[in-house]
Chains A and B, each alone.
Chain A
């Protein structure tokens, strides 16, 4: 169906609403990559089988991720007249049981994540109340969505549709307010007005540097040239960050809509989405979305009959971190090696094929439709003075509740780590949060009350980056983390600048020396000096920010470096060369499990049996490769690491 009028859009919306809220029971399975990796596909099949076998009155659907990845697979059930329920950690067996119980108007309380009585439609400032006439048995005591600590402080703008719509159905996106902003942009606004609105919203780029989006668009619009390009950066290279993947897998149309609006505002007629090679599912969902948008007349020639045309191409990256940098990304699309160039002339003036080009990140594009539909005034009320709106973060690492969260800018680290993340698991002590990917730094516990926005993170020596937050506890070694990032960067440096190529390599060597017990106190000064040179002399921001992980760990955790250097000790018990494994003979129960798992047969002893008393086990330090198998295997904490 080609959409031409507002009425057509309304018709599509009605179709979508029927999909979203059917008359019979609807069961949706979260099938983004995180869901699939925990067996969501098997759960889906199990439900499908059951429905077919029993001819059950159930509609089965797929959806994206609602953020609580730790609790995947998540399955939600929606039936008119009842609260919506979300089940967590669903297995195929559980799935069968819970749908049968549902049909008997029962829930299994213990398996529930939460219930939901209403849905926010952020795109239009509407709340969709579920009319509740019947309460399933067993639901008492189940928290509502907003009562769950993980969701309590969240405000979902970018993730508005993830986990609520089937990403393969454009109608469902439209039903929740999609493509309405595009209509408004094309027929009710001039390009300059759109740019003005985006400027007033205060939106800053979500890809890392936090450049003001409206200003960038304006420069690109004003740039001379008959041909211009718009680009979407979906290269998401920061390890530990996966918001772009989740948005593309769960709500690809939001990005496409944002790009069309941007292209119209800037005056571009061709666009590219540069997607990471490691994201096959996101690529698949995007291709479907692009095709559907084209079929609906929302992309291609004469969009919605407005006379404006735009073609969007998908470009698959080749697995190079540096290609996330704007000039390298453009070189890569041109078919060249993805190396950055100096930016004396901005890409907004001369970018892809030397034409004015506007590049924004996935999350940036995704925010645009909402800014138009809700208005810059509404948007700019959210967040802090200089950082408006919300930001999606992935909280991962040593934290109880891992997942994707979206919070207003300015929320404190403490709220993120403790209130939402639930703190550090296994009774361990919190140590730091790493933000900003390889360009970022480690923020120590003393700064836990820091309000999180672009500028505050930079002030403390880290960065916003894509929004990865890797929580670290006492068993994470800061020297090892610095070494880890240098290893990453020396591998990903394209090698064009000597300072970056050699600087990252030498810093890695020095950190290895320290981690292996050969460090000296001079090394710390040398690292600072090398870090300074690498940052100052490098062409692009890969080198420009490369020392951050080293400098921030020295700044906040110098005593840990000194412990490695002066006492040849790794307090977190990570740096292997400094560790010794031994078995406490008075704790050893002589069960022999450790000896069985030891890959190098370094553990000897005599197993206790009914007849024999046995002998405690012990480790031959000469043979030990410090793999930690015995430590992980021993149930009695008889293996000690020092």
Chain B
């Protein structure tokens, strides 16, 4: 990641420790994940030990040290979605894409992840693809959904 981009993100928040999470989230929004060189740079620039940064990066579910695919699928496994068969939706997607949850497809198209509730419980089971929420899913709707993002 270009140093100038990181600089401008840090500048926006100020090099305060309390801005670290926001800075990491913005880096991830740009790069899709947290590249190691970017974290090293943040560490130097903000005078925060790298281990601290890695602790934060591995603690929060929203942050990822692994590159993600072109499209990100989050299948909800919150309680309301769970009792309406959320895990079956997840498994169907796993089978269709040939990956397990947490993985990225070989062609780098999809990264499959799970979340615990996105607040759309009344329409469960739901999944989020690239920020767009799809409700009232069934196993039979999965293939069509994936095709939309081919």
List residues of A whose CB falls within 8 A of some B CB: 33-34, 36-38, 69-70, 72, 236-242, 245-246, 277-280, 315-321, 332-338, 394, 396-398, 402-404, 434, 437, 468, 470, 472, 476, 481, 484-485, 488, 492, 494, 597, 599, 627-629, 632-633
25 A-B pairs in the complex with CB atoms less than 8 angstroms apart: A33-B119, A37-B120, A37-B126, A37-B135, A69-B120, A69-B123, A239-B82, A240-B78, A278-B117, A278-B119, A280-B131, A315-B22, A317-B62, A318-B21, A318-B60, A319-B115, A335-B16, A335-B19, A397-B79, A468-B121, A484-B82, A597-B140, A627-B91, A628-B88, A633-B140
A488 to B117, CA, bound (A): 11
Nearest chain-B residue to A248 (Cβ)?
B119
Partner of B120, one of A34, A320, A334: A34
The answer to whether A239 and B78 touch (CB under 8 A), given A38-B123, A318-B61, A397-B84, is: yes
Interchain CB contact under 8 A, B122 and A69: yes
Interface contacts beyond A277-B25, A332-B21, A627-B95: sample of 7 additional A-B pairs, CB < 8 Å, sorted by A: A239-B116, A245-B119, A278-B119, A315-B22, A337-B56, A337-B59, A397-B80
- What is the distance, in angstroms, from B133's C-beta to the closest C-beta of chain A? 4
Nearest chain-A residue to B19 (Cβ)?
A335
* Cβ–Cβ < 8 Å partners of B131 in chain A: 280
Contact with A along B8-27 (1 / 0, CB 8 A): 00000000111111100100
- A contacts with B: majority SS: mixed
* Cβ–Cβ < 8 Å partners of A238 in chain B: 117
* Cβ–Cβ < 8 Å partners of B139 in chain A: 627-629, 632
Residues 45-60 of B at the A interface (beta carbon under 8 Å): 55-56, 59-60
* Cβ–Cβ < 8 Å partners of B81 in chain A: 239
Interface centre among B84, B117, B134 (most CB of A within 10 A): B117
* Cβ–Cβ < 8 Å partners of B20 in chain A: 335
Q: Does B38 contact A (CB under 8 A)?
A: no
A397 to B80, CA, bound (A): 5
The answer to whether A398 and B140 touch (CB under 8 A), given A33-B133, A280-B131, A318-B25, is: no
Partner of A627, one of B25, B88, B118: B88
Partner of B80, one of A239, A404, A488: A239
Interchain CB contact under 8 A, A242 and B92: no
* Cβ–Cβ < 8 Å partners of A632 in chain B: 138-140
The answer to whether A338 and B59 touch (CB under 8 A), given A240-B78, A332-B21, A632-B139, is: yes
Interface centre among A278, A280, A492 (most CB of B within 10 A): A278
Q: Does B97 contact A (CB under 8 A)?
A: no
